[in-house]
Chains A and B, each alone.
Chain A
Amino acid sequence: MALDQSFVGRTYPPTAPYEVGREKIREFAEAVGEANPVYTDPEAAKAFGHSDVIAPPTFVFSITFRAAGQVIEDPQLGLDYSRVVHGDQKFAYSRPVRAGDRLTVTSTIEAIKSLAGNDILDIRGEVHDEAGEHVVTAWTKLVARAAEEA
């Protein structure tokens, strides 16, 4: 069933702040095999002009995707999450995410399309720090594959 177009443009309330920890960044960097000390050693990060260790570029997805849960699980929208695959992902950074950041995400439904029975949902997540400064915007395209005929 096609999703309701009237949800396009809907913005959800900002999430509670997510506090970025040094050890969480280390864990993520190790999980993706990153050995760059800028992720684990504050002195190495400072040599690049950062005030503390920074996170790998895709780290913030964990936070924005959790925030997108507000959309995905909105019972009024009615998305069948069991059929969802990740189509596209894009980030635009004002600065890297760093340890000590307290980040909030504001999610907006940018577009809803229906193509060959698939529902395609574009969600934009605006990530701001505690001072209200923009850190990164994440665009996530989710595709809910058409249900097979029973």
Chain B
Amino acid sequence: MTAKIAYDDVEVGTELPAQTFPVTRATLVRYAGASGDFNPIHWNEKFAKEVGLPDVIAHGMFTMAEAVRVVTDWTGDPGAVVEYGVRFTKPVVVPNDDEGALIEVSGKVAAKLDDNSVRVDLTATSGGQKVLGMSRAVVRLA
């Protein structure tokens, strides 16, 4: 048993359920601890501005981790992911308020490949701007 989606039930163009992921300063502190990435641009506003950023920004790897959830929630088994890559095009700026930022992710089957796998192309935006480019996952279906 692997994915809960069958290869035969999917066509090129099949859309995955879109999701919105909230991110606040607290999220970033927690992610810093869990990932070991303590770069101050992800938690220290003064430092972020000194190096020319508009404000604290989310870890690119945090955004990458959220985006693939659209794929793994769809397939059921995250172990079915064969490949996953992104380009970090724009930072997700996270203001110091109760709202934070939202990362909106949608995905669609772009190609059916051999070995029961499909390529899913993901779109991730925050504040109306695309934050990931070339965001693609290959996932093996049932």
Q: Once the chains bind, are B37 and A93 in contact (CB under 8 Å)?
A: no
Q: Once the chains bind, are B83 and A93 in contact (CB under 8 Å)?
A: yes
Contact mask for chain A residues 82-94; partner B; CB cutoff 8 A; 1 contact, 0 none: 1001111111110
Contact mask for chain A residues 62-87; partner B; CB cutoff 8 A; 1 contact, 0 none: 10011000000000000000100111
Q: List 25 A-B contacts (CB under 8 A).
A: A27-B34, A31-B31, A31-B35, A32-B66, A32-B69, A36-B73, A38-B77, A49-B79, A57-B72, A57-B78, A58-B61, A58-B68, A86-B60, A87-B88, A88-B87, A88-B88, A89-B64, A89-B85, A89-B86, A91-B84, A92-B83, A93-B82, A93-B83, A95-B79, A96-B81
Q: Once the chains bind, are A31 and B85 in contact (CB under 8 Å)?
A: no
Q: Once the chains bind, are A54 and B79 in contact (CB under 8 Å)?
A: yes
- A57: shortest Cβ distance to chain B, in Å? 5
Q: How many residues of B contact A (CB 8 A)?
A: 35
Q: Once the chains bind, are A85 and B82 in contact (CB under 8 Å)?
A: no
Q: How many residues of A contact B (CB 8 A)?
A: 36
Whose C-beta in chain B lies nearest to the C-beta of A139? B85
Give every chain A residue within 8 A of B72 (Cβ-Cβ): 36, 56-57
Q: Does A61 sit within 8 A of B, measured CB to CB?
A: yes
Max chain B Cβ within 10 angstroms of own Cβ: one of A27, A47, A91: A91
Q: Does B30 sit within 8 A of A, measured CB to CB?
A: yes
Residue from the list B36, B79, B84 in contact with A66, Cβ < 8 A? B36
Q: Once the chains bind, are B87 and A57 in contact (CB under 8 Å)?
A: no
Whose C-beta in chain B lies nearest to the C-beta of A26? B34
Q: Does A43 sit within 8 A of B, measured CB to CB?
A: no
Residue from the list A54, A85, A90 in contact with B78, Cβ < 8 A? A54
A31 to B23, CA, bound (A): 11
Q: Does B62 sit within 8 A of A, measured CB to CB?
A: yes
A32 to B69, CA, bound (A): 9
A88 to B72, CA, bound (A): 21
